[in-house]
Amino acid sequence: MSSPSVNPLREGIANRLAPEPCTLVIFGATGDLTHRKLIPALYNLAAEGALPPSVSIIGFARREKTSEQFRTELEEAARKFSRTPLDEELWKSFASSVHYHRSPFDDAEGYRTLAAEMDRLDKERGTAGNRLYYLAVAPDQFPVILDHLKASGLNRAAEGSWARVIVEKPFGKDLKTARALNGLVNEVFEERDTYRIDHYLGKETAQNIMVMRFANSIFESLWDSGHVSHVQITAAEPLGVEGRAGYYDTSGAMRDMVQNHLLQLLTLTAMEPPTSLGADAVRDEKVKVLRSLRPLRGDDVFRHVVRAQYAPGLINGQPVPGYREADGVPKDSVTETYVALQVNIDNWRWAGVPFFIRTAKRMPKGGTEIAVTFKSVPRVLFNSTGEGLDENVLVIRIQPDEGVSLRMSAKLPGSSLRIEPVKMDFHYGTSFGKATPEAYERLLLDAMAGDATLFARRDEVEEAWTFVDGIEEEWKTRKDDLAFYEAGSWGPAEAAELAARHGVTWRRL
């Protein structure tokens, strides 16, 4: 009798592609990402039975330690960061599949012994040569790791197996470096085996954007320039640069947030319906949005983009220093901690609709949202005086307090005709009491299942950089446009003016 190629018992168990057994190698296993996100996510998946039992995890890092020490450290981290309480027995069971492999990233011998270790685990656990490499390291370490994976043949899977790589952002620091990085990765792994992680896409509400748009006829039929006045996409946080000054000062808000997270949210908001939910069908449509972004060049950059830096101020009533006073930040730094852009999407659907994108540190309140403001009704009947009749606004809250709200007008009770805005509000947390899985849980399972829908494709990343590079290049030509805003305020006056030129006021979260 012939052997089945797929597990017939998996059908109907979960409404998703089944993750396949594999060995997961985490480069940078002693780092923050591994401790805070990856291991807690893998533990929860294993505890819920979502992770194939034969999955093995190898932590690859430079520091000297035993597997036992490694597991002990991870247990402490999981106890602290797991979204569910740590269960001793479940942890022991999960930890038995976790191993530590000490090696410098540039030591060929370390990869040879890694190969031997994976072969041993393949035999011991029956993972059949499936390998998933997670580069949880700084981008400057990518080349050496990728070169050695290639040189040692670990990038090539045996017949019937696969070898995939997960790359963490930043995907380069400009188009040139992104292309170089993508070229480097694709010299070692096929694009179909490359998974660029943007954890925003693993969030439930980001995934819900497509469901809301394409599973509800009332929204999609109004989702165009005929009905939408403008769109605001905001990601604000009260935190300052904290301990990331070294990285942040060379990056800034544009590269750190806009190029990836916010342009990803823009594409999900503006894309056409894909032909299917397949990874490439979805990503094809997202890329079309990026290609339709009107490039900003020359003086247009300074008309359409405001960059600013936070000065000392108050957060939650407590004084906080300005950006230039933070440890590791040069006193004359011109790195932006605030960016506001007005962009145009030159396609049939969105012609003439301004999209406003804003991200900032040291805002009074944190939150990420997409607000779609609809056009006003004609100025007859109720709004002939123009009083009390606000536009309809549909807000998709990505975090925190994930949900959707719709502002509309209603008559105040009474004999006179007075109209006030009211809000219909849907909160995920209110209706669905259970905690939603962490974005990394979903994304790790997807990578093991070979579903790249929620990962950025090479052309997405490069198109986003093409747009952002145009702005960065102009910024290099002058410094006098850098504005300042008080920490704890909603940003500089220049940003308010940018919006006001379109008759728009920035939303307060």
The residues that touch another protein, with contacts defined as CB under 8 A, are: 1-4, 7-15, 18-21, 46-49, 51-54, 87, 89-90, 92-94, 97, 123-128, 160, 401, 429-434
Distance (Å, rounded) from C-alpha 234 to C-alpha 225? 20
For residue 461, what is the enclosing H or E element? Answer: helix 458-476
Place of tokens 């390291």: 137
Decide if 400 contacts 366 (C-beta within 8 A).
Answer: yes
**Of 10 and 478, CB closest to another protein:** 10
Nearer to another protein, 11 or 332 (CB): 11
Least distance CB 128 / another protein (angstroms): 4
Backbone angles phi, psi at 393, to 5 degrees: -130, 125
Backbone angles phi, psi at 77, to 5 degrees: -65, -45
Measured from the CB atom, the residue of 49 and 298 that comes closer to another protein is 49
CB of 367 to another protein, least distance (A): 14
Q: Closest CB to another protein among 54 and 232?
A: 54
Catalytic residue status for 230: no
Question: Considering the complex, what minimum distance in angstroms separates the CB of residue 467 from another protein?
Answer: 37
| Cα distances (Å, whole numbers) of residue 197 to 18, 143, 271, 344 | 19, 18, 20, 26
Q: Which is nearer to another protein, 18 or 419 (CB)?
A: 18
Q: Angle formed by the axes of helices 279-292 and 458-476, to 10°?
A: 20
Q: How far is CA 90 from CA 45, 49, 129, 344, 438, in A?
A: 11, 11, 26, 51, 19
Tell me the DSSP string of 325-336.
GSTT--TT----
Query: How would you classify the pairing of strands 56-61 and 98-102?
Result: parallel
The token pair that represents 467 in the structure block = 């747009």
**Cβ-based nearer residue to another protein, 87 or 242:** 87
Can you read off the two tokens belonging to residue 391?
């536009």
Residue 365 burial by Cβ neighbours in a 10 Å radius (0-12, 13-18, 19+): middle
Question: What distance in Å separates the CA atoms of residue 455 and residue 286, rounded to the nearest whole number?
Answer: 12
Residue with tokens 């995890």: 57
From CA 7, how far away is CA 21, in angstroms rounded? 12
* Backbone phi and psi for residue 315, each to the nearest 5 degrees, phi listed first: -125, 125
Nearer to another protein, 41 or 197 (CB): 41
Is the link from the previous residue into 170 a cis peptide, with omega within 30 of 0? yes
Query: Which CB atom, from 121 or from 370, has the smaller least distance to another protein?
Result: 121
Contact at 8 Å (CB) between 398 and 232?
no
φ, ψ dihedrals at 108, nearest 5° = -60, -35
Q: DSSP secondary-structure letter at 11?
A: T
Specify the 3-state DSSP secondary structure of 384: coil
Residue with Cβ nearer another protein (162 or 475): 162
Residue in 35, 101, 148, 261 annotated catalytic: 261
Q: How far apart are CB 96 and another protein at their closest, in Å? A: 8
In the complex, the smallest distance separating the C-beta of residue 415 from another protein, rounded to whole angstroms, is 22
8 A C-beta contact, residue 100 and residue 69? yes
Active site residues: 261
